[in-house]
Amino acid sequence: MTQRILIVCTGNLCRSPMAAALLRARLARDADHDWIVESAGTWAQTGRPASAYAIAEMADRGLDISGHQAQRVTRERLADAELVLVMTKNHAEALKSAFPDQADKVYMLSQLVGESYDILDPYGGSRMEYAYTAQELEELLDEGYERLIELVEGEVE
């Protein structure tokens, strides 16, 4: 059975497309997990491309998100995912409130490393802000990788 992970931010232009690309790259190094990683936004305008600095930051890491098109979170996307990772407490609360039947699979990305803090949105900021966010996402996904696997495979309460 194919496992799905949905990564959510606000506009689906910066954080979630970068995190999805980084996670896909991490999963590609692990032959045990051939999962689908998608991203969406709570307020996304469908079809918008990733921001230029997000594209540049991923290109610096050998990842291409230039074809990314924003999509909005839907009940179907949530239902299809085994795990939903969000960037902020507000994202988590909004999804849990709008889709209470899916609440048990919604986690803040920072929770992968046992913390609970928001990932700042670099949208409209400098290239340095994007670089900082990309680095933070990369570190959280690397450090929280084993926890992520446990959550997807349902091995954790």
- State whether residue 115 is helix, strand or coil: coil
Structure tokens at 36: 């689908």
User: Which residue from 66, 67, 7, 65 is spatially nearest to 41, judged by alpha carbons?
Assistant: 7
Catalogue the active-site residues.
Answer: 9, 15, 121
Give me the count of residues in the chain.
157
Look up the pTM and report it.
0.96
Q: Residues 104, 115: contact at Cβ < 8 Å?
A: no
Domains annotated for the chain, with CATH where assigned, are 4-151 (3.40.50.2300)
The chain-wide mean pLDDT, for the chain, equals 96
Tokens read off for 122: 């670099």
pLDDT band at 33 (very low <50, low <70, confident <90, very high): confident
Bridge partners, 38 (sequence order):
6
Q: What is the pLDDT of residues 89-147, one digit of tens each?
A: 999 999 999 999 999 999 999 999 999 999 999 999 999 999 999 999 999 999 999 99
